[in-house]
């Protein structure tokens, strides 16, 4: 495969007018400049396209999505249009620090066994005010153990090797809202390594409209969580404790999926998933369902239960 750029920066945006200009300015200000920016306009109805049209940087390529689709559909379309040796992900509402691309390219250049390089990130609110600093685990063992219950990596800090991603066919098509996690898991299974930089490389904006937190498509999201963690538990080298916690997490994910299906009127499918949860771990299933029932009655409102 012939690469036209050292790096392709990929972005999918839907109605991102509020933060898009700041993000674009931060991308153009990067100390590393050998990149293209591929932006998928995922059916925006606000001034997103006008903001994109207002950029005269020749490195920008805008791809129009055929319809407003899921995040997964948008990021896969951006990936398919990328022409760089490395691919950096950039969310339309996050702000990369000025040397983010430079540091990540240097890391990938220095170690051909690396499939993906991520980094620390600062969570900020809608006004850019500091909320917290996030430093994902930096060792392979800590990462795969953590993957049994959560993905601590911010997708908007990903920079990965195109040939490594192509080996696993890029972002998994079966996941609408978790393809970034699926990509990492499958790259690990192919033997590629992850490096997490000690440096903070991004300001990640936390707000109610972002794709990772909106409370829509509950069935789809709970489905993705169940099957993504189902892939994660099959990683080699997971510690015994993390594997046990991961098995319990899988039961919880299955119960959440069951409840989402039932809430969607799919009682038979939901009941089947509930039955599978009971088979896997009867005691935990009963405790968790009891906890959820009490929560529905307003109990435990201010108490963080161990099963939550």
Distance in angstroms (rounded) separating the CA atoms of residues 263 and 270:
9
| Chain centre to alpha carbon of residue 203 | 15
pLDDT, tens digit, 9 for 90 and up, residues 23-57: 999 999 999 999 999 999 999 999 999 999 999 99
- Of residues 269 and 295, more confidence is placed in 269
What are the structure tokens assigned to 181, written together? 């996690």
Q: What is the mean pLDDT of residues 175-183?
A: 93
∠ CA 109-107-130, rounded to 5°: 145
Residue 210 has what pLDDT? 53
Listed range (22-26, 65-69, 196-200, 304-308) with the worst mean pLDDT = 304-308
The CATH code for residues 5-205 is 3.90.550.10
The ranges assigned to domains in the chain are: 5-205, 218-281
Residue 212 has pLDDT above 70, yes or no: no
Listed range (212-216, 271-275, 295-299) with the worst mean pLDDT = 212-216
Closest Cα partner for 228 from 205, 257, 207, 204?
Answer: 257
Phi, psi of 110, rounded to the nearest 5 degrees:
-80, -15
pLDDT, tens digit, 9 for 90 and up, residues 233-261: 999 999 999 999 999 999 999 999 999 99
Residue 3 has what pLDDT? 85
How confident is residue 208, by pLDDT bands cut at 50, 70 and 90?
low
pLDDT, tens digit, 9 for 90 and up, residues 280-307: 999 888 888 888 878 777 765 554 444 4
Q: What is the mean pLDDT of residues 122-129?
A: 93
Q: What is the mean pLDDT of residues 11-19?
A: 96
How confident is residue 67, by pLDDT bands cut at 50, 70 and 90?
confident
Residue 69 has pLDDT above 90, yes or no: no
Residue 308 has pLDDT above 80, yes or no: no
Residue 306 has what pLDDT? 46
pLDDT, tens digit, 9 for 90 and up, residues 97-110: 999 999 999 999 99
Indicate the average pLDDT of the chain. Answer: 92
Residue 82 has pLDDT above 80, yes or no: yes
Residue 215 has what pLDDT? 45
Q: What is the mean pLDDT of residues 194-207?
A: 95
Q: What is the mean pLDDT of residues 254-282?
A: 93
What are the structure tokens assigned to 6, written together? 């050292």
**Percent of the chain scoring above 70 in pLDDT:** 93
Q: What long-range pairs does 164-173 form, CB within 8 A, spacing at least 24?
A: 164/115, 164/116, 164/190, 164/192, 165/79, 165/87, 165/115, 166/1, 170/76, 170/79, 170/80, 171/72, 171/75, 171/76, 171/79, 173/72, 173/76
pTM greater than the 0.85 cutoff: yes
Residue 19 has what pLDDT? 96
Residues β-bridged to residue 34: none
Residue 299 has what pLDDT? 64
């Amino acid at each position: 495969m012939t690469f036209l750029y050292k790096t392709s920066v990929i972005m999918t945006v839907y109605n991102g007018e509020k933060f898009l200009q700041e993000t674009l300015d931060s991308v153009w200000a990067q100390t590393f400049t050998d990149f293209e920016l591929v932006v998928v306009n995922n059916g925006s109805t606000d001034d997103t396209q006008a903001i994109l049209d207002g950029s005269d940087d020749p490195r920008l390529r805008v791809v129009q999505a055929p319809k407003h689709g899921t995040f997964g559909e948008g990021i896969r379309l951006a990936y398919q249009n990328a022409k760089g040796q490395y691919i950096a992900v950039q969310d339309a509402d996050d702000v990369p620090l000025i040397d983010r691309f430079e540091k990540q390219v240097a890391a990938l250049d220095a170690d051909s066994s690396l499939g993906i390089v991520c980094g620390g990130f600062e969570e900020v609110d809608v006004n850019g005010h500091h909320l917290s600093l996030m430093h994902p685990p930096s060792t392979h063992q800590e990462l795969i153990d953590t993957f049994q219950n959560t993905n601590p990596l911010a997708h908007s800090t990903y920079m990965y090797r195109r040939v490594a991603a192509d080996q696993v066919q890029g972002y998994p098509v079966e996941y609408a809202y978790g393809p970034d996690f699926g990509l990492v898991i499958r790259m690990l299974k192919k033997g590629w390594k992850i490096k997490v930089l000690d440096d903070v490389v991004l300001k990640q904006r936390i707000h109610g409209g972002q794709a990772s937190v909106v409370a829509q498509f509950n069935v789809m999201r709970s489905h993705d969580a169940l099957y993504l963690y189902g892939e994660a538990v099959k990683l080699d080298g997971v510690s015994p404790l993390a594997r046990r916690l991961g098995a319990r997490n899988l039961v919880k994910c299955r119960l959440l999926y069951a409840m989402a299906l039932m809430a969607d009127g799919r009682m038979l499918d939901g009941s089947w998933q509930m039955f599978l949860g009971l088979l896997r771990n009867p005691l935990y299933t009963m405790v968790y369902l009891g906890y959820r029932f009490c929560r529905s009655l307003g109990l435990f409102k201010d108490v963080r239960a161990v099963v939550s």
